[in-house]
Amino acid sequence: MDWLHVIKQGESETTEFKQAFNKETIVSIVSFANHKGGVIFIGVSNDCKLVGVHLNDESIQNWQNEIKLKTEPSIFPDISSFILENKNIVVISISEFPVKPVALQGKFFIRKNNANHLLTVAEINDVYLKSVQTSWDSYPKQDAELNDLDSNKVAQFIHRVNESGRFKLVGTPIDCLKKLRLIQKDKPSNAAMLLFSKQEMFYNVHIGRFKTQSLIIDDKMVRGSLYDTIENTMTNIVSHLKVAFEITGETSQRTEIFEYPLGAIRELVLNAIVHRDYTSPTDIQIRIFDNEITIFNPGKLYGNITINDLKTDTYQAQSRNKLITEAFYLTKDIEKYGSGYRRIREMISHYPTMYFDFEENSGGYLVKIGYKRQRQFSNVTKNVTKNVTKNVTKNRLQQIKDTIKNDENTTIDSLAKKMNVSKRTILRDIEKLKELKQLTFIGSPKSGYWQLIQNNDE
């Protein structure tokens, strides 16, 4: 290993520098063990300079003993020394611990970016559940029995799953729930109770209509099984939304234009209910203002996902509530893991002044969606579609010209296959190129060939 090269890269998510071995070194060891593992260089300063470290015959053995005694479960890292530029350097290599979290004298740390982070009680629980490949909602609900489940809600769920086509459930309702691990050892899981309980579970969605930050003009509390909660929450939100009406003359009916795309609002409500931290006593809080809606969700981002990850369309989804997430996926309420924010961005793109922001806030997660001017006309979508279609056609015409330029004997069939469109589409494009006097056919239908008209070729 070229340790000098690694040192020159600086501190990172998996690399730490220490001038001497001390308690902070063990904090870093625990942080790496609770994350992805890493290496600690002793005898290197924060600015990557080699300062060296004094060692005697028992130094490394004493360090190993101290690490063992102060960590729970005990960590046994690989420790080795070497000479680099005439200085003693020690490297401590830590592997990711299989069952986390590891503690340092009762405190738990984890590596985040290039720093060590002290875990909260909720984060300790999340780290443990993730390390054992399970989640809170998969555990049996304390004191719950199978007869606490509403048979009608279970039947509706099974029907929706089978109707979606994503999974096939056969057998008795109990067998179906066992197949999805919603029932284990004849006990309903936390997820099953949240989805199908006869009684309300007291996980609230608090919805307020605000005129200002302090002036509330309406206040509602929604609770119940999760599927019902989503529908009732949406009904309540929609009742407060402004609607513009457009009469275009194309039809005798008027077009309703809600101030927000309802699909985007539904995605946000789904995210809040499916991914909230159900070990927190805090309610989901939805505030509806004149031109903004905020949704606060108990529980920060789960796993390794960051705010910056959510701003892309390529992040890997991680679920705090695995069984609840799976249930909503199977009923097609969730289209695809990790695709919700991409769909929201697509939907609000038709609302020219609309914004969509999110952040971790006060032990939870806050989303804001709003606008500067309310959308009044529906032709935004039409214009977008028209422009997209126009650009696609233009690009295809150029592809046809480029292909014929390289091979004048190209056939209609080969063009259709290459561009993944129908023969009818290619024939229509060919006629368009003829009308534009950019293409002509030379010779007979059987032995002729296509030729670009050079004067008009772009």
The predicted-structure confidence for 25-70, as pLDDT tens digits, reads as follows 999 999 999 998 999 999 999 999 999 999 998 999 999 999 999 9
**What are the C-alpha distances in Å from 420 to residues 390, 396, 397, 414, 416?**
17, 11, 14, 10, 6
Residue found under tokens 């998510």: 13
Average pLDDT over residues 135-140: 89
Q: Alpha-carbon distance 110 to 230, whole Å?
A: 35
Residue 126, in any domain of the structure: no
Angle between helices 59-70 and 23-33 (to 10 degrees): 60
The pair of structure tokens assigned to 435 is: 């009308």
Q: Which residues contact 344 (CB under 8 A, 6 or more apart)?
A: 264, 267, 268, 356, 369
Give the model's pLDDT for residue 392: 59
457 or 167, greater pLDDT = 167
Average pLDDT over residues 9-34: 94
Give the model's pLDDT for residue 380: 47
Q: Which residues contact 214 (CB under 8 A, 6 or more apart)?
A: none
Residue 125, in any domain of the structure: no
Q: Alpha-carbon distance 223 to 221, whole Å?
A: 7
**What are the C-alpha distances in Å from 222 to residues 90, 235, 285, 367, 436?**
58, 11, 10, 19, 61
Residue 131, in any domain of the structure: no
**Is the domain of 317 the same as that of 342?**
yes
Residue 127, in any domain of the structure: no
pLDDT at 381 over 90: no
Q: Is the dihedral of CA 395, 397, 399, 405 positive or negative?
A: negative
Give the model's pLDDT for residue 250: 55
**Is the domain of 243 the same as that of 355?**
yes
Q: Residues 193, 183: contact at Cβ < 8 Å?
A: no
Q: Residues 300, 360: contact at Cβ < 8 Å?
A: yes
Residue 269, in any domain of the structure: yes
**String of DSSP letters for 61-80:** HHHHHHHHHHEESPP--EEE
**Is the domain of 146 the same as that of 241?**
no
Q: Residues 49, 87: contact at Cβ < 8 Å?
A: no
Residue 128, in any domain of the structure: no
Query: How much is the pTM?
Result: 0.62
**Is the domain of 141 the same as that of 231?**
no
pLDDT at 409 over 50: yes
The pair of structure tokens assigned to 82 is: 């070497």
The predicted-structure confidence for 197-213, as pLDDT tens digits, reads as follows 999 888 999 999 999 98
Q: Alpha-carbon distance 426 to 432, whole Å?
A: 10
Q: Residues 71, 26: contact at Cβ < 8 Å?
A: yes
Q: Alpha-carbon distance 264 to 412, whole Å?
A: 42
pLDDT above 70 coverage of the chain, percent = 91
ω into residue 98 within 30 of 0, thus cis?
no
Residue 178, in any domain of the structure: yes
The pair of structure tokens assigned to 371 is: 């606008």
- Domain boundary among the residues 76, 92, 119 is at 119
**Is the domain of 244 the same as that of 360?**
yes
**Within a 10 A sphere around the Cβ of 328, how many other Cβ atoms?**
19
The domain total for the chain is 4
pLDDT at 433 over 70: yes
Give the model's pLDDT for residue 154: 96
Average pLDDT over residues 424-435: 83
Report residue 92's pLDDT band, with 50, 70 and 90 as the boundaries: very high
Q: Alpha-carbon distance 270 to 258, whole Å?
A: 19
**Is the domain of 157 the same as that of 213?**
no
Q: Alpha-carbon distance 308 to 329, whole Å?
A: 25
**Is the domain of 182 the same as that of 45?**
no
Residue found under tokens 């909720």: 122
Of 162, 143, 115, the closest CA to residue 11 belongs to 115
Q: Residues 397, 432: contact at Cβ < 8 Å?
A: yes
Give the model's pLDDT for residue 396: 79
**Is the domain of 252 the same as that of 291?**
yes
The pair of structure tokens assigned to 313 is: 């369309």
Residue 129, in any domain of the structure: no
The predicted-structure confidence for 326-342, as pLDDT tens digits, reads as follows 999 899 898 766 678 88
- Domain boundary among the residues 145, 171, 196 is at 196
**Is the domain of 87 the same as that of 156?**
no
**Is the domain of 363 the same as that of 218?**
yes
- Range of 5-9, 120-124, 300-304 with top mean pLDDT: 5-9
Report residue 438's pLDDT band, with 50, 70 and 90 as the boundaries: confident
Average pLDDT over residues 124-130: 79
Residue 261's CATH number: 3.30.565.60
**Is the domain of 306 the same as that of 341?**
yes
pLDDT at 297 over 90: yes
**Is the domain of 222 the same as that of 294?**
yes
Residue 390's CATH number: 1.10.10.10
Q: Alpha-carbon distance 108 to 113, whole Å?
A: 17
Domain that residue 359 falls in: 205-321+328-371
- Domain boundary among the residues 144, 161, 196 is at 196
pLDDT at 111 over 90: yes
Per DSSP, 189 falls in state: B
